[in-house]
Amino acid sequence: MPPEVRKGALGGRGRKKVRGGSAYRSGMSPEFPWNDLTPLGPNRVKVRVPAKINLTLNVGQRADDGYHPLLTVFQAVGLYDEITAMPVLGGVISVLVRGAQAHLVPTDGTDLGAQAARLLRSRYGLPSYGASIEIDKQIPVAGGMAGGSADAAGTLVACSELWGLELSPNELQLLAAELGSDVPFSLNGGTVIAHGRGTDMVPLMCRGTYYWALAFAETGLSTPAVFQRFDELNGAAAPKRPADVPHELLAALIAGDAKTLGKMLSNDLEPAALDLCPALADTLAYGRSYPGVLGGLVSGSGPTCAFLVENPRALADLVGELRVLPRVRAAVGVTAPARGAHLISAHSSAA
Ligand code: ATP
């Protein structure tokens, strides 16, 4: 661990709290193994973290480093995974995933929640700290909604609270960027413009509430496979740099003008996702022509389809219809923008 990182983060707020603050028994050092009497802080922390959609996703040609330059507008939507973290003795970190698609998340310790907890623990020099993490998974797996990134962001917030680290938003953002390109956005939430690999973000002014119907496909799509197909379909015709985000889209967000926003939705990966999953074309055509729908697109690398709807009533009607479409596993109606990863409860048995 670079000494300056450890000093910067723990020499100040984090370390003070862990050593002698209210979260842990006075006199305990974080280097000491925990025993049943050690933690006096919360013994059950719950965090909620949202899914994202891309209002526009502009993709440039694959660069020499293998990555595609991106320019995108992310919006966090009110579909959440919930992360519960409890302290465990002896430095064990375990993750249990619940939900209809839990079986699709790896169980060999490589899931993004476990990676986030391990990164946090090693960066702050706390090898004896453990956590039992439960993820109630509502965000589709491999659905183009950054579900894995959401779990990484949620676990960072949950474990830093559980372990009494008191990290600043900036410290959390730096850790998030190490875990993956969408993780900083999952922490931040709201509506942002992001470029590069998605880690450089600027929050956008966004008025109003937007109503989204989300149609989940029966199977997921692998993000690398979709980018690969993007290369095959576009070859050298893809622009070196991603196109700019249209001013009309930014102006629509500022004005809270859902009608114009609906017309501006776009996704350069959509043809590739449709090529890999042709059934999505029917879902998209159905949703786009439904009364009250202002626009629709494939979310990120797909296969989730997202439809912007003019009001809650039209939203409920559309969701009911999407649910019975063939090849649609499930459909939900949500509002946006949503808050990024946030604590919803922290209980202590000592309290
Ligand atoms: P993105 O939109 O960021 O490209 P995605 O939403 O399409 O990603 P994820 O749900 O993040 O896809 O899952 C991508 C892969 O990551 C899955 O196939 C899964 O095996 C793996 N994975 C690891 N940890 C998790 C997790 N906690 N939740 C979901 N997937 C996970």
Residue 23's CATH number: 3.30.230.10
* Whether residues 62 and 193 fall in one domain: yes
* Whether residues 194 and 231 fall in one domain: no
Residue 253 lies in a domain: yes
- Note if 182 is an active site residue: yes
Residue 10 lies in a domain: no
**With 0-12 CB in 10 A as exposed, 13-18 as middle and 19+ as buried, what is 47?**
buried
At residue 25, the pLDDT reads: 37
Q: Which residues contact 28 (CB under 8 A, 6 or more apart)?
A: 19, 38
Q: Which residues contact 51 (CB under 8 A, 6 or more apart)?
A: 76, 77, 79, 80, 81, 139, 143, 145, 146, 147, 150
At residue 198, the pLDDT reads: 64
* Whether residues 125 and 230 fall in one domain: no
CA of 148 to the centre of ligand 1 (A): 4
SS3 annotation, 97-149: EECCCHHHCCCCCCCHHHHHHHHHHHHCCCCCCEEEEEEECCCCCCCCCCHHH
Number of domains in the chain: 2
* Whether residues 50 and 90 fall in one domain: yes
CA of 255 to the centre of ligand 1 (A): 33
Give 99-125 pLDDT, tens digit per residue: 999 999 998 889 999 999 999 999 988
Residue 9 lies in a domain: no
Question: Counting atoms of ligand 1 from 1, which one is nearest the CA of 137?
Answer: 28
CA of 144 to the centre of ligand 1 (A): 8
CA distance 269 to 316: 28
Residues with beta carbon inside 6 Å of ligand 1?
A: 105-106, 111-113, 141-149, 151, 182, 223, 300-301
Per-residue pLDDT band for 171 (boundaries 50, 70, 90) equals very high
- Note if 244 is an active site residue: no
CA of 147 to the centre of ligand 1 (A): 6
* Whether residues 110 and 225 fall in one domain: no
Question: Counting atoms of ligand 1 from 1, which one is nearest the CA of 51?
Answer: 6
Residue 262 lies in a domain: yes
Give 65-102 pLDDT, tens digit per residue: 888 999 999 999 999 999 999 998 888 999 999 999 99
CA distance 207 to 348: 38
Mutate to test the pocket of ligand 1, among 105, 110, 181, 187 (most ligand atoms within 8 A of CB): 105
Domain with 38 in it: 16-199+339-348
At residue 196, the pLDDT reads: 79
pTM of the model: 0.88
* Whether residues 160 and 253 fall in one domain: no
* Whether residues 107 and 94 fall in one domain: yes
* Whether residues 194 and 53 fall in one domain: yes
Catalytic one of 81, 111, 151, 182: 182
- The rounded Cα 236 to chain-centroid distance in angstroms is 31
Q: Whose CA is nearest to atom 24 of ligand 1?
A: 111
Q: At what angle do helices 280-288 and 312-323 cross, to 10 degrees?
A: 150
Mutate to test the pocket of ligand 1, among 112, 186, 277, 280 (most ligand atoms within 8 A of CB): 112
In this structure, the number of other CB atoms found within 10 A of the CB of residue 340 comes to 25
Q: Residue 93 is encoded by which pair of tokens?
A: 């970190």
* Whether residues 103 and 139 fall in one domain: yes
- Reply yes or no on whether the pLDDT at 23 is more than 90: no
CA of 223 to the centre of ligand 1 (A): 9
Residue 344 lies in a domain: yes
Question: Counting atoms of ligand 1 from 1, which one is nearest the CA of 151?
Answer: 27
Q: Taking residues 18-22, what's their average pLDDT?
A: 33
- The domain that holds 310 is classified in CATH as 3.30.70.890
In this structure, the number of other CB atoms found within 10 A of the CB of residue 228 comes to 14
Q: Whose CA is nearest to atom 13 of ligand 1?
A: 142
CA distance 121 to 10: 12
Q: Taking residues 336-347, what's their average pLDDT?
A: 95
Sheet order of strands, 210-217 included: 293-298, 305-309, 210-217, 328-336
Inter-residue long-range contacts of 2-6, CB under 8 Å, 24+ positions, other chains counted? 5/123, 6/123, 6/124, 6/125
Question: Counting atoms of ligand 1 from 1, which one is nearest the CA of 141?
Answer: 10
Q: Whose CA is nearest to atom 26 of ligand 1?
A: 148
Q: Whose CA is nearest to atom 1 of ligand 1?
A: 146
Lowest mean pLDDT: which of 219-228, 235-244, 290-299, 335-344? 235-244
* Whether residues 249 and 153 fall in one domain: no
- Reply yes or no on whether the pLDDT at 243 is more than 80: yes
* Whether residues 240 and 102 fall in one domain: no
Residue 5 lies in a domain: no
Residue 221 lies in a domain: yes
Catalytic one of 52, 111, 257, 268: 52
CA of 115 to the centre of ligand 1 (A): 13
Residue 120 lies in a domain: yes
* Whether residues 180 and 237 fall in one domain: no
Lowest mean pLDDT: which of 1-10, 187-196, 200-209? 1-10
User: What is the identity of the amino acid at 41?
Assistant: G
Question: Counting atoms of ligand 1 from 1, which one is nearest the CA of 300?
Answer: 2
Q: Nearest CA to 188 among 162, 149, 221, 159?
A: 149
At residue 21, the pLDDT reads: 32
Inter-residue long-range contacts of 274-277, CB under 8 Å, 24+ positions, other chains counted? 274/298, 275/229, 275/233, 276/221, 276/225, 276/226, 276/229, 276/302, 277/217, 277/219, 277/221, 277/302, 277/303
CA distance 323 to 336: 21
